[in-house]
A and B are shown apart, each in its own frame.
Chain A
Amino acid sequence: MTTLDDRPDVAPEIGRDRRRKEDQRLITGRTRWTDNITLPGMLHLAMVRSPFAHATITAIDTTQAKAATNVVGVFTAADLGESQGVLINAWAITEDQVTPTHLPMAGERVSFAGEIVAVVVARTQAEARDAAELVDVDYEELPAALDLKKAAADEVLAHPELGTNKSAFWQFDSEGAGTGGNVDAAIEKARTDGVVIEREFRQQRLIPAFMEPRSTVVDPTGEQVTMWSATQIPHILRFALAATTGMPESKIRVIAPDVGGGFGGKLQTTPEEWLTFCLANRLGKPVKYTETRSESLVSAHHGRDQWQKLTLAAEKDGTVTGLKVDLLADLGSYVSLVGGGVPVLGAFMFNAIYKFPAYQFNCQTVLTNKTWTDAYRGAGRPEATYGIERMMSELAAEIGMDPIELREKNWIKHEEFPFTTVAGLEYDTGNYEAATKRALEMFGYDELRAEQKQRRDAGDKIQLGIGISTFTEMCGLAPSRVLGSLNYGAGGWESATVRMLATGKVEVVTGASAHGQGHETAFSQIVADRLGVAFEDVEVLHGDTQIASKGLDTYGSRSLVVGGEALVKATDKVVEKAKPVAAHLLEASVDDIEFSGGRFSVKGTDQGLAIGEIAAAVFTAHNLPDGMEPSLDSEATFDPVNFNYPHGTHLCAMEVDTETGAVKMRKYVCVDDIGNVINPLIVSGQVQGGLVQGIAQALWEEAVYDDAGTLVSGSFVDYLLPTSADTMNYEIDHTTTPSITNTLGTKGVGEAGTIASTPAVVGSVVDAIRHLGVNDIQMPCTPERVWKAIQGAGRGGDSTEGAAMPHFDTDQPGTDSTEGAGA
């Protein structure tokens, strides 16, 4: 029996800037990336990919490749037949969605450049790649649907047999849903006696570009077939393999070992995984496939790619009265795992923090002959935030009101929470006033506005602009019922198990699957606090379907707010199971047992037992209450009743050189309200990294296709990821209104920075040169586009065309065009 002095140090772990448990391995190279795995007799795959965006395969000659040294086999779709399985779309957004069959390897026709047409198996990776060069494929080129707007008009069909490129039309209408008024009426009224702002924005195509290329190893030699994969979603992957290959789910084990980033890009079930699985089973040998970066950029899914037409109605004093959104979303050549649903995730967010009385969202998803698209950090919500935040600033400019004041006029006041929005969501908590006040202070808003005016008055060649984003997002995917109502193929719960070991250690099993987020550290902090055990004594296990048998994995800022809450519930069950044991051993009534700081004590006495002592007593099971099952281990599955709604105010000051179009970020301030913080150090990393991805969309990144449908930004030479020299230090702070949708009071943070930053950055560029007649610059805001916008004093909306990549056409860099592809 312990006395008070023996109790462990129980300073609260939650809120502490613990250094990460994960790091010791990662900084010393003791890592287990999928590509590190080598098994006896392992074979290697190399893919033969189509160079054409759209073509009929007329012949494939594999003779030479098969004869090459150490080649075990060369396979085409005809060779594998149904054994290759099929890739699923888990979210048909409408009943009549047009969904082309997505085979891992194309048989008769390829529909994007990069699609697999043959696979070589050899004893080494180098030999497989050499032999892949020897596979001779004859193609007959077909016209390709490349430009999104033209594809939406069905001018050229991406899949001729479907008869249309239009996959699905999805609408939310506030009048129909009973959550608001008629948007067309609001717009008509504003045309008569108010203000109507109409804009069209382009969300360019982006590439998630996780640093670890995707890799898959399949070992078919045990009773269960084991797949290691660089994936965010081992559980969904296992389900989909079973569902499409005929192998029982119980015979499949999927492991996501160390995974080097995802950002949505590894929220996918891939052709490469299916082919590796198929060939390992067929050949009875372990098989590995690791992509090259060039393959990754062309064949791992892309993100964003929308045209957004927005119509905002307001009264003359700036009070918003209606918002209508018309989207075209490019799915690429297939409807991927959740690809069609990504824009729908934005449907509930265009109204953002503002009290629109009427709202309508229309989205048409469109098939093209480009790499298929799916989630990329934020998934639907960055697009929505970009649209609305740009529009609010446009409205402010139109009526000559300060853009902060305009937002304040229209946003939900802190005393109005919980607030049901025109999109039908109930925002639980928030305080936009507090976050904005803090951000304005840190930013020095008034001083910067004064400097802006002074530069304008002086006609300075360097102009200053201020961009604003008072964003919110819905995260913590997701209440299963909501997903069901949206026709999503799975639920949104998460699972956790807590195991009390005899030695006093605690094993925590989570269904979330980290790939850089720091779950092991943050979850250890939660469990340490809940059970009153040492941080170091908690071991977090994840990412293996034989260890964490239940889970829905990591995406949509869900791990902490859904998975963390499951963990809380599991620890609560452990405590409840331990109480009768404590009462029994302490010879007291259960009702008199209190649990605090890791110790069960008898009310009003100094008698008590540490939870580790109870665990040891349960392990020996020598002296337990009659009939008690000798185990404290507990499992919980948590299904959230609502999303949660982080918000914040982001402010960006940008200097624009009006002679060259060059932009230079001067200051970036963000104050995010993400509820209670478990680990501020991890949060800082999530926010900073997220910011840079959003800033990169605004300024640098774009997946560019030429007019033949070839991805010309197909390597890290051409796809402009930001470097340390391109970025700066961002000033970050927080205000806190705890969420009431989980007991920890937390909100998601993984996507916040990315969702918020893009409109603040583009808004700052536009604000710097608005007086020159510019009201839009298409992303990314390259110096060339900014310069052209100033010269043309127009929309500056030209997009990058293939020939603008200088090393492809050095004679005519950056010639004018409209849409890059097919212009």
Chain B
Amino acid sequence: MMVDGAKVADDVEPRTLLVQYLREKLGKTGTVVGCDTSNCGACTVHMDGTSVKSCNVLAVQADGGEVTTIEGLANGSELHPVQEAFRDCHGLQCGYCTPGMIMQSVALLEENPKPTEAEIREGLEGNLCRCTGYQNIVRAVKQASGQTEGVTA
């Protein structure tokens, strides 16, 4: 499969979850595990163009597919606009939910480039954050969609 633009091939146990494969085999530790019931969304990545919770996908299901993690989102040193907006709007504190939250936000904006606040809140419902109270995350997604202006200090 392709992971963050690199071709990788491994033999894995059939029960290996995609998130385990990413973290343990490939060292893609930017993607994290936050729960064991697929509620928290911290492990969200993109697989073949849609967001998935990588704790809910077997590694073998991604065979031949294309996976993008938080580590493959930026274009070199140039941050993805959603990453930039999270930083600019203080959409993160401890940062543990952030990889999943950003990947989900990117997918949300690909599907709906100009979401309303309600649509943003609904679209991120599957990703839990304990630090921010979501207000600045919602603001970040809105800013990344170009509906509000950012100011960088």
Q: A263-B130, A725-B124 are in contact. List 19 more A-B contacts (CB 8 A).
A: A27-B70, A27-B98, A28-B74, A29-B28, A29-B29, A29-B70, A126-B13, A210-B96, A681-B90, A688-B134, A688-B135, A715-B35, A715-B39, A723-B125, A724-B127, A724-B129, A725-B121, A729-B117, A753-B133
B83 in contact with A727 (CB, 8 Å): no
Q: Does B33 contact A (CB under 8 A)?
A: yes
Tell whether, in the assembled complex, residue B134 and residue A22 are in contact, meaning their CB atoms are under 8 Å apart.
no
* Distance in angstroms between the alpha carbons of A209 and B34 in the assembled complex: 10
A81 interface residue (CB < 8 Å to B): no
Q: Is A622 an interface residue (CB 8 A)?
A: no
Closest to B70 in A: A29
Q: Which residues of B contact A516 (CB under 8 A)?
A: 93-95, 131
Decide: B36 and A682 in contact? CB cutoff 8 A: no
Q: Which of A204-241 contact B (CB under 8 A)?
A: 209-213
Least CB distance from A515 to B in Å reads 6
Which residues does chain A contribute within 8 Å of B29, judged by CB atoms? 29, 31, 33, 35-36
Chain A positions 193-212 with a Cβ under 8 Å from a chain B Cβ: 209-212
Residues of A within 8 A of B137 (CB): 724
B131–A261 CB distance below 8 A = yes
With A and B bound together, what is the CA distance between A556 and B94 in angstroms?
Answer: 17
Chain A interface mostly: loop
Contact of A210 among B13, B130, B133 (CB under 8 A): B130
Minimum C-beta distance from B76 to chain A (A): 11
CA distance A681 to B139 in the complex (A): 13
A29 to B71, Cβ gap below 8 A?
A: yes
Chain A residues, Cβ within 8 Å of B74: 28
Q: Contact: A260 with B125, CB < 8 Å?
A: no
> Which of B92, B93, B99, B138 interacts with A29 by CB under 8 Å?
B99
Q: Which of B36, B86, B88, B90 contacts A294 (CB 8 A)?
A: B36
B42 interfacial by beta-carbon distance below 8 Å: yes
Q: Which residues of B contact A261 (CB under 8 A)?
A: 93-94, 96, 130-131
Q: Is the CB of B33 within 8 A of A213?
A: yes
Closest to A292 in B: B36
- Can you name 26 A-B residue pairings with CB atoms under 8 Å? A20-B90, A23-B95, A31-B30, A126-B13, A211-B96, A211-B131, A212-B32, A213-B34, A260-B94, A261-B131, A294-B36, A682-B90, A685-B93, A688-B133, A689-B130, A689-B131, A689-B133, A715-B37, A716-B35, A721-B130, A724-B120, A724-B138, A727-B133, A727-B135, A729-B138, A730-B135
A685 touches B90 (CB 8 A): yes
The verdict on A717 contacting chain B, using a C-beta distance below 8 Å, is: yes
Chain A interface, number of residues (Cβ within 8 angstroms): 59
- Closest chain-A Cβ to B32's Cβ sits at a distance in Å of 6
A29 and B69 contact, Cβ closer than 8 Å, known pairs A23-B87, A209-B130, A211-B96: yes
Classify chain B: how many residues form its interface, as a range.
35 or more
**A interface residue numbers (CB < 8 A to B):** 16-20, 22-31, 33, 35-36, 38, 126, 209-213, 258-261, 263, 292-294, 515-518, 681-682, 684-685, 688-693, 715-717, 721-725, 727, 729-730, 753
A724 to B36, CA, bound (A): 20
Query: 0/1 per residue, B106-148, Cβ < 8 Å to A?
Result: 0000000000010011101111111111111110000000000
A-chain residues with CB within 8 Å of residue B13 when the two chains form the complex: 126
B37 and A27 contact, CB distance less than 8 A: no
Whether A685 contacts B136 by the Cβ 8 Å rule is yes
Given B36, B69, B96, B152, which contacts A33 in the complex, CB threshold below 8 Å? B96
Residue of B nearest to A721 (CB): B128
B30, B39, B73, B152: the one contacting A716 at CB < 8 Å is B39
Closest-by-CB residue of A relative to B32 is A33
- Min CB gap A141→B, angstroms: 27
In the complex, chain B residues whose CB is within 8 Å of the CB of A727? 121, 133-135
Name the CB-closest residue of A to B117. A729
A724 engages B125 (CB within 8 Å): yes
| A28 with B79: CB separation less than 8 A | yes
